[in-house]
Amino acid sequence: MSLLLTEDEIRSVLDMENSIQAVEAAFKAYGEGRVNMPPKAYLYLPKGDFRAMYGEIKGFNGGGICGLKWVNVHPENPDRGLPTVMAKILLNDPENALELADMDGTCITNMRTGAAGAVAAKYLSRIDSRIAGFIGAGQQARTQLAGLLRVRAIKEVKVYDINKGRAVAFCNEMSEIHDIDINPVDTVTEAVKNSDIVTTVTPSRKPIVNLRNISRGTHLNAIGADAKGKEELDPLILKNSKIVIDDWEQASHSGEVNVPLEKGIISKDDIYATLGEIVTGKKGRTNDEEITVFDSTGLIIQDLALAYLAYKLCKDENMGEEKLFLSRR
């Protein structure tokens, strides 16, 4: 039997705390070599694209899980009253291929990306980080902020968006949810300057954050670059920082590092570590002066970890609808 789960059902059982724990476990599995994960495949369309992501986590929660996510990115969708990102996930048992769940993946995509940013900040930002700068005030900024607040005692958040009204609306909404100082600013420079942690969540195809505005000891979560040709950071930031990626195969062709790599500005030798290596303690921040960058492209193992968590929690609560898709003969 396959459990059909809607976005509302999944949202009711996932929170940022259990999402961070699940995503951290996924990166631990990556660091220990317990994942089977081909790079994502892209279907490019006139108004956006679809990505097919599939993989396996071995020895996860006493067994193993595998599955597939079909997810889109259509930047013009908000103008149509639709989300930029929508997704479906199929969760399977790798031992016999039986489907465990057929589930909405939109909430999981947002939560796992925010959780990954939180895991990176937990291990790579300075413990005394108190000021955060956000570039981009879309849907993903919400979970990035929620995740960040779970791992660091942030007291002030500065938000820039190319659409000032969106930044204002974001700050007003987030100020009601989180009891901290959250304010819009007029420029990228204002958002970045003197910030301990900088999060970029834009679809930019040219650098928007410059090295000259980055303080020593800053940690940056580069979230927006998730396809070939996208970049948000001045390559000089990468040249002067410890670069941590989620996965080489994905980051090299679709992450923040993809354009600088193609232009020869940096090479594979400039990559300091994967987040899996950081989580397992093989590498890490060594002093409070260094700049660190996490290049997040989003891995299927993050989706699988959260999908399995949601599946188990919903099943325990008798949520969802069970369907028999396979007729045994």
CATH superfamily of 121-298: NAD(P)-binding Rossmann-like Domain (3.40.50.720)
**Four-residue CA torsion sign, 182, 184, 187, 190:** negative
pLDDT tens for each residue of the chain, 329 residues long: 899 999 999 999 999 999 999 999 999 999 999 999 998 899 999 999 999 999 999 998 778 999 999 999 998 998 899 988 899 999 999 999 999 999 999 999 999 999 999 999 999 999 999 999 999 999 899 999 999 999 999 999 999 999 999 999 999 999 999 999 999 999 999 999 999 999 999 999 999 999 999 999 999 999 999 889 999 999 999 999 999 999 999 999 999 999 999 999 999 999 999 999 999 999 999 999 999 999 999 999 999 999 999 999 999 999 999 998 776 65
Residue of 297, 275, 290, 115 whose CA lies nearest to 196 = 290
Return the amino acid letter for 21.
Q
What gap in Å lies between CA 60 and CA 271, rounded to an integer? 28
pLDDT of residue 75: 87
Place of tokens 């895991």: 119
**Residues taking part in catalysis:** 69
Q: Give the pairing of strands 292-295 and 219-222.
A: parallel
Place of tokens 């476990």: 25
In CATH terms, are 2-109+301-323 and 121-298 the same topology?
A: no
CATH superfamily of 2-109+301-323: ornithine cyclodeaminase, domain 1 (3.30.1780.10)
Q: What is the CA radius of gyration of the chain?
A: 19
The domain ranges of the chain are 2-109+301-323, 121-298
Residue of 204, 222, 214 whose CA lies nearest to 293 = 222
Residue 121 · residue 197 · CB < 8 Å: yes
